[in-house]
């Protein structure tokens, strides 16, 4: 089996991780899980960066003067609790204060020293304590660090040891030329190539007069500079300095997943450090973009930070994992807001994938007592699934995670459309259609199975549950990519369950179409249904409210209205002999095929209204916040059509 070793950046533990930090871990976890699905023997490393002056300062502030490691112990618990809440499946969690790391750092520093690549000098310059890096004068913005505009860099003059980085410039250029995929995406590679073109200066690799860090083996009064120390964690974790056989087995790393701001450290300093010590550089580095909050940089000090545990708790960890993977082009910057998150949850999970699973399982239950049997080699969905599989694999292999997810959703959408077109509820009325109904139910369930296998790296626990409900023969970590190929064998037993992702309902409820004008007759001492009443007396009496006949309806058919951006034509069952046609202004919130099977609420006694050449017989209730797409007011699926609401 081929091995695949991937890592994330390790984090300073001076504060708890925010959702921007979690973005990196979740997307790296999606890659790790995808590689496992693809049959690789994966080693996935995450960890904490503890030898930072910021961490040391924070430990002192928190009262850990005598034992900063005890502070780091506490932070390790906090960090790993967050990563577990997000279902990150790391195999190893490294901490840079561990003895194994001290051994590795000292071995690499000594090897570089012995190779003549480390020399003593004096360094002075502007130093940003938050970046833990010297900042060239030209990079400062109004005298401040460009990444930390609230901090003034300090002028520092130090006895330092330097790494002869300049010596490796030509070799780095050749390496980039010979390995076009060494740094991705392309925009990041171009940045580094420009930097190399401009020439390289030697870099400081030690700090004098500090005790927090790994002592230099050739000058124990100095410690190794935190960046030089941190990069070595990737080698430490697979045995560098402690287990040569293991190191030979797992090095070079296949992939370092890092933020776009630290590509220089990983693709210039790090290869030079490794070459100097006679070790191969990693195969590949991916520099992802930043996650913003409402268009602003996510930062605790700016108050634009999102707690990843809160995000995972809102709709379950898989919902936030899907958001981070599907809504952001991997490699570019992305944005998060709670409103947008809720909207995507309702569209992608509650209305789309979750509703599809419910419908397939409940139809299998209703029409075939939960036993579905294959009939033929699959119809049109088999073809869609095959194409989605190829697009998915191509996207995932190229770290276009958003593309992989989009491919899986193509299949989900097509399956919703297939059910609408095949109308199993019509087929079920005539026993002559039994074979066709069998085929439709199996085909829809098989398409759901394939989609769940493809989406499992993103939503592991939900997809396992979906696979269980539709009676998939293989689930969990036994799944391989080949299981995402179409299968038309063996009877399957489906299992009913509560909604996977219940809709999240907005708090404010308004009607999207103009309501029938409320009668202004004065209301005597009748009870008012709403708890709060506005100051101006626009209240209505209960007798007025009771004039409005609200009823539960089920959507049987839905289609777009030609030439209308807002209207969808619905055929709804209101428990009457004939279904009704209603035109609803909800096209900005829904695709027609998502609506089929929904249980909604309508105003049943509205006078018929002609609209765009069609007569609308009633009005659906929907809610929408300012500037938001409308969301239908849903009723419980167990309510039969025609049930009075009020």
CA 495 vs CA 368, 453, 466, 487: distances in Å: 12, 18, 9, 19
Residue 128 in contact with Zn ion, rule: CB under 5 A = yes
Least distance between Zn ion and beta carbon 307 (Å): 23
Least distance between Zn ion and beta carbon 130 (Å): 4
- 232: exposed, middle or buried (Cβ count in 10 Å: 0-12, 13-18, 19+): buried
* Cβ-based neighbour number of residue 344 at 10 Å: 16
Least distance between Zn ion and beta carbon 302 (Å): 14
412: nearest Cα among 442, 375, 385 = 385
Q: Judge whether 391 and 444 are in contact, CB under 8 Å.
A: no
Buried b (16+ CB within 10 A) or exposed e, 245-267: eebeebbebbbbbbbbebbbbbb
Query: Using CB under 5 A, which of 19, 30, 104, 145 touches Zn ion?
Result: 145
**CB-wise, 147 or 523, nearer to Zn ion?**
147
**Interface stretch with Zn ion, choices 11-19, 142-150, 378-386, 465-473 (CB under 5 A):** 142-150
Residue 262 in contact with Zn ion, rule: CB under 5 A = no
**What value, to the nearest 5°, has the Cα angle with vertex 336 and ends 411 and 600?**
55
Residue 148 in contact with Zn ion, rule: CB under 5 A = yes
**CB-wise, 124 or 186, nearer to Zn ion?**
124
Least distance between Zn ion and beta carbon 22 (Å): 21
Residue 130 in contact with Zn ion, rule: CB under 5 A = yes
Question: Is the peptide bond between 30 and the residue preceding it cis, with omega within 30 degrees of 0?
Answer: no
CB within 8 Å of 85: residues ≥ 6 apart: 308, 309, 312, 313, 317
**CB-wise, 54 or 614, nearer to Zn ion?**
54
Site string for Zn ion, 83-122 (x = CB under 5 A): ----------------------------------------
Least distance between Zn ion and beta carbon 153 (Å): 7
Least distance between Zn ion and beta carbon 127 (Å): 9
**Interface stretch with Zn ion, choices 6-14, 60-68, 138-146, 259-267 (CB under 5 A):** 138-146
Least distance between Zn ion and beta carbon 148 (Å): 4
Residue 200 in contact with Zn ion, rule: CB under 5 A = no
Catalogue the E-assigned strands of 84-205.
Answer: 92-95, 118-128, 133-135, 154-163, 183-184, 203-204
**CB-wise, 116 or 149, nearer to Zn ion?**
149
Residue 152 in contact with Zn ion, rule: CB under 5 A = no
**Interface stretch with Zn ion, choices 33-41, 140-148, 300-308, 313-321 (CB under 5 A):** 140-148
* Pairing between β-strand 492-493 and β-strand 334-336 as defined by DSSP bridges: unpaired
Least distance between Zn ion and beta carbon 126 (Å): 10
**CB-wise, 128 or 587, nearer to Zn ion?**
128
Q: What are the helix (H) ranges across 43-86?
A: 53-61, 68-85
Query: Using CB under 5 A, which of 69, 103, 147, 645 touches Zn ion?
Result: 147
> How many residues contact Zn ion, by CB under 5 A?
6
Residue 472 in contact with Zn ion, rule: CB under 5 A = no
Least distance between Zn ion and beta carbon 272 (Å): 23
**Interface stretch with Zn ion, choices 125-133, 500-508, 554-562, 589-597 (CB under 5 A):** 125-133
The phi and psi torsions of 124 (rounded to 5 degrees) equal: -140, 145
**What value, to the nearest 5°, has the Cα angle with vertex 449 and ends 444 and 451?**
95
**Interface stretch with Zn ion, choices 86-94, 147-155, 397-405, 461-469 (CB under 5 A):** 147-155
CA 587 vs CA 156, 344, 593, 594: distances in Å: 61, 16, 11, 11
Least distance between Zn ion and beta carbon 12 (Å): 12
CA 373 vs CA 74, 362, 416, 462: distances in Å: 54, 15, 20, 24
Residue 131 in contact with Zn ion, rule: CB under 5 A = yes
User: Residue 385 and residue 391: Cα distance in Å, rounded?
Assistant: 10
Residue 406 in contact with Zn ion, rule: CB under 5 A = no
* Cβ-based neighbour number of residue 50 at 10 Å: 31
Least distance between Zn ion and beta carbon 145 (Å): 3
Interface with Zn ion (CB under 5 A):
128, 130-131, 145, 147-148
């Amino acid at each position: 089996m081929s091995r695949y070793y991937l890592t994330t950046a390790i984090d300073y533990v001076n504060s708890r991780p925010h959702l921007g930090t979690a973005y990196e871990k979740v997307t790296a976890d999606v890659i790790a899980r995808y590689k496992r699905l693809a049959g690789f023997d994966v080693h996935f490393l995450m960890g904490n960066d503890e030898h930072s002056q910021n961490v040391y300062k924070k430990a002192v502030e928190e009262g850990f003067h005598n034992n900063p490691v005890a502070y780091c112990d506490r932070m390790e618990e906090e960090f790993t609790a967050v990563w577990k809440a997000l279902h990150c499946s790391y195999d190893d969690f490294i901490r840079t204060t561990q003895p194994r790391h001290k051994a590795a750092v000292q071995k690499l520093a000594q090897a570089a020293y012995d190779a003549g690549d480390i020399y003593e000098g004096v360094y002075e310059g502007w130093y940003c304590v938050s970046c833990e890096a010297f900042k060239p004068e030209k990079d400062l913005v109004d005298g401040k660090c460009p990444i930390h505009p609230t901090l003034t860099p300090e002028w520092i003059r130090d006895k330092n040891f330097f790494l002869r980085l300049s010596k490796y410039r030509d070799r780095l250029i050749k390496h980039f030329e010979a390995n076009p995929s060494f740094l991705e995406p392309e925009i990041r590679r171009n940045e580094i190539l420009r930097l190399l073109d401009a020439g390289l200066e030697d870099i400081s690799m030690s700090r004098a007069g500090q005790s927090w860090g790994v002592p230099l083996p050739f000058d124990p009064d100095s410690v190794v500079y935190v960046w030089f120390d941190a990069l070595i964690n990737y080698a430490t974790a697979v045995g560098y300095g402690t287990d040569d056989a293991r190191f030979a087995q797992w090095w070079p790393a296949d992939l370092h997943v890092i933020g776009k701001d630290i590509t220089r450290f990983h693709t210039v300093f790090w290869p030079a450090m490794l070459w100097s010590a006679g070790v191969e550089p990693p195969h590949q580095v991916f520099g992802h973009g930043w996650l913003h909050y409402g268009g602003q940089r996510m930062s605790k000090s700016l108050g634009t930070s999102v707690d990843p545990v809160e995000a995972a708790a809102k709709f379950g960890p898989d919902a936030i994992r899907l958001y981070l993977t599907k809504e952001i082009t991997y490699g570019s910057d992305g944005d998060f807001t709670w409103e947008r998150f809720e909207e995507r949850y309702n569209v992608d999970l509650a209305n789309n994938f979750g509703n599809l699973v419910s419908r397939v399982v409940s139809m299998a239950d209703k029409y075939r007592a939960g036993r579905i049997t294959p009939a033929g080699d699959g119809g049109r969905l088999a073809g869609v699934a095959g194409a989605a599989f190829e697009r998915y694999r191509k996207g995932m292999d190229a770290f276009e995670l958003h593309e992989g997810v989009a491919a899986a959703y193509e299949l989900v959408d097509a399956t919703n459309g297939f059910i609408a077109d095949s109308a199993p509820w019509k087929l079920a009325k005539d026993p002559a259609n039994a074979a066709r109904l069998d085929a439709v139910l199996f085909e829809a369930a098989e398409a759901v199975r394939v989609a769940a296998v493809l989406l499992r790296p993103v939503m592991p626990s939900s997809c396992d549950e979906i696979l269980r409900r539709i009676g998939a023969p293989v689930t969990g970590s036994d799944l391989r990519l080949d299981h995402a190929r179409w299968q038309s064998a063996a009877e399957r037993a489906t299992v009913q369950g509560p909604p996977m992702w219940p809709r999240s309902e907005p708090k404010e409820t308004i009607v999207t179409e103009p309501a029938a004008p409320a009668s202004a007759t004065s209301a005597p001492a009748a009870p008012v249904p709403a708890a709060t009443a506005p100051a101006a007396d626009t209240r209505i009496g209960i007798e007025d409210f009771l004039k409005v006949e609200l009823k539960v309806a089920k959507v049987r058919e839905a289609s777009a209205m030609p030439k209308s951006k807002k209207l969808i034509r619905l055929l709804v069952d209101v428990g009457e002999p004939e279904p009704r046609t209603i035109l609803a202004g909800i096209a900005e919130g829904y695709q027609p095929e998502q609506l089929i099977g929904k249980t909604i609420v309508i105003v049943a006694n509205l006078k018929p209204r002609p609209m765009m050449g069609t007569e609308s017989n009633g009005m659906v209730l929907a809610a929408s916040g300012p500037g938001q797409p409308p969301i239908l007011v849903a009723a419980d699926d167990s309510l039969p059509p025609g049930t009075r609401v009020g």
